[in-house]
Structure 1
């Protein structure tokens, strides 16, 4: 029987009080303060935010607890922007959406910082003792796609360097139940012939660095057929399917035609729309998908938002957490 797990891809919005506090504190800093450079009261503020975001998830009843990634002002370009050998770049728009991130300019082979591992350890300190923690990182294909390669190597060599960098970051993580690798570029800028195999190999290298369950979470539509088929060659436990954005029939076709991993992640809550789905709607979307695919039972169905929840007002983000947990409860 399939286990249904309520979770999210992380990257939560800052609480309103923290936006004001951090704006004032950072306003006293000279230059551009990057994640990783924080000191004093700024660190203390982010510690408070982390505790609050974890409390939100525990109160909602989620099955996996993320750190929240409140420090990621560079969105999924983190942690590359703070790595040695990388110029963080400015804030730019990406994916033809109202989303912004830093443009990391990679000038030499990036060195892992352990920044994400430190945040996960801090989350472990404040989460309930029995909480199942979920780590969150960008996937290697999306990170390489969003970064600017100034190393002198070709695209294949650059992707290999990014994969090695992320694998080292994963190896530094402490205990975690699940790892979400965020790979929207597989949909928004899919790899072509040859590059699709390299993308799968890069994801496989990162996944191999942990004993946790690995979910490659894609969103904003369906992955094209060939990249999807090659993605299944990677040793991952689940691929994320967006049932909110784009035509869900395209994602369904991929699974019907090429199969799936042992588990699956379903993006059934809209991470960019303030309309809050009912638990019944969430349950119906999960049941619809599971009834359409040629799989008797997935080991696990991760029930999640299709994208990060960063874009939502604080009250709507909290409501979406509660809806996810309640939707899984309806399914049980």
Structure 2
């Protein structure tokens, strides 16, 4: 019987009070925000929001606790959007949905900034064990950005990889790191680029003193991309079983997977709340369909970021997911 670890890929919706308060504050401080200075009142609101969502995860009983990424207005492009050597320009669509982010244009060297590490450090003061870090994977972060400094795609990916590795070096102690890689599905790398993407993920993962999950979503990976990703020294690959269970099963059964696995079983974009029994049944179903693979650890998770959800539905999904370990899951 595998160990079931309940967790999320982060990027939570703002608490309702924080949406109103931050909207008003940002309206008053628009000039400061353009220059990158959030101001003490905005910082305080985010800190209160972080404390609230960390407490809410612990109250639900999740095995891994994330910081929540409430400041990430630009979704997984955030670590670049706040960098000194990055200009944020026009508003562009975030993958194929109705969310938008500011295009990060890299104009200088991507040195480590410590922004994500500072958020994790603050969260660590509330979390005794089970802290999980969340970062964009290097391929997705490079895919969402525009390069005006490094000169070609390979050099740019290398620069983004070194930047993320530098961020990780400043992390406090964490048990797990989720690297979010939706672009591997949404804008799959071609020949040569697929191998470079895997090598970049490997390089980032090697800097983490934690279990690393390369989490893919919004579909399934092309076979060749998946085969290269298997070469990366990560502890688990994440599969979106909400968006495409058949193709993900095929990849696992055809090419194998790591000893641990992350299963996106709860819908991060649909307000229908799954019950714990349904989630447990989905874990059992995957295990039944992948008999050649005996997982040591199953990370039971929401398939995508959760900022799409109303807060009440998001919290209900947290409760249902956390309750899975109170429901019998058979090997």
Residue matched to 2:111: 111
SS at match of 1:144: helix
Out of 270, 274, 289, the residue aligned to residue 273 of structure 1 is 270
Residue matched to 1:97: 97
Counterparts in 2 of 1:1-332, with a 5 A limit?
1-31=1-31, 33=33, 37-127=37-127, 129=128, 131-245=129-243, 247-332=244-329
| CA–CA distance in structure 2, aligned partners of residues 75 and 302 of structure 1 | 22
Give the C-alpha shift of residue 35 in structure 1.
10
Give the C-alpha shift of residue 315 in structure 1.
0.2
1:238-283 residue CA offsets vs partner (Å, 9 max, x unmatched): 01110101x3110000010111012100000000000001111111
| CA–CA distance in structure 2, aligned partners of residues 86 and 268 of structure 1 | 35
- CA change 1:137–1:31 in 2 (3 A) is same
How does the TM-score come out when normalised to structure 2?
0.96
- CA change 1:35–1:268 in 2 (3 A) is farther
Give the unaligned 5+ runs of structure 2.
none
| CA–CA distance in structure 1, aligned partners of residues 35 and 325 of structure 2 | 34
1:106-160 residue CA offsets vs partner (Å, 9 max, x unmatched): 1222122101000000001123x2x310000000000011101112521111111
- CA change 1:237–1:35 in 2 (3 A) is farther
> Contact between 1:139 and 1:182, CA under 8 Å: does it hold in 2?
yes
- CA change 1:242–1:30 in 2 (3 A) is closer
| CA–CA distance in structure 2, aligned partners of residues 100 and 288 of structure 1 | 35
| CA–CA distance in structure 1, aligned partners of residues 82 and 40 of structure 2 | 19
Give the C-alpha shift of residue 91 in structure 1.
2.6
SS at match of 1:298: coil
> Contact between 1:35 and 1:72, CA under 8 Å: does it hold in 2?
no
Give the C-alpha shift of residue 292 in structure 1.
1.2
| CA–CA distance in structure 2, aligned partners of residues 143 and 71 of structure 1 | 17
**Number of paired residues?**
329
Structure 1 runs of 4+ with >6 Å offset = none
Give the unaligned 5+ runs of structure 1.
none
SS at match of 2:109: strand
How does the TM-score come out when normalised to structure 1?
0.96
| CA–CA distance in structure 2, aligned partners of residues 255 and 89 of structure 1 | 40
Give the C-alpha shift of residue 296 in structure 1.
4.7
> Contact between 2:124 and 2:172, CA under 8 Å: does it hold in 1?
no
> Contact between 1:10 and 1:66, CA under 8 Å: does it hold in 2?
yes
Give the C-alpha shift of residue 39 in structure 1.
2.3
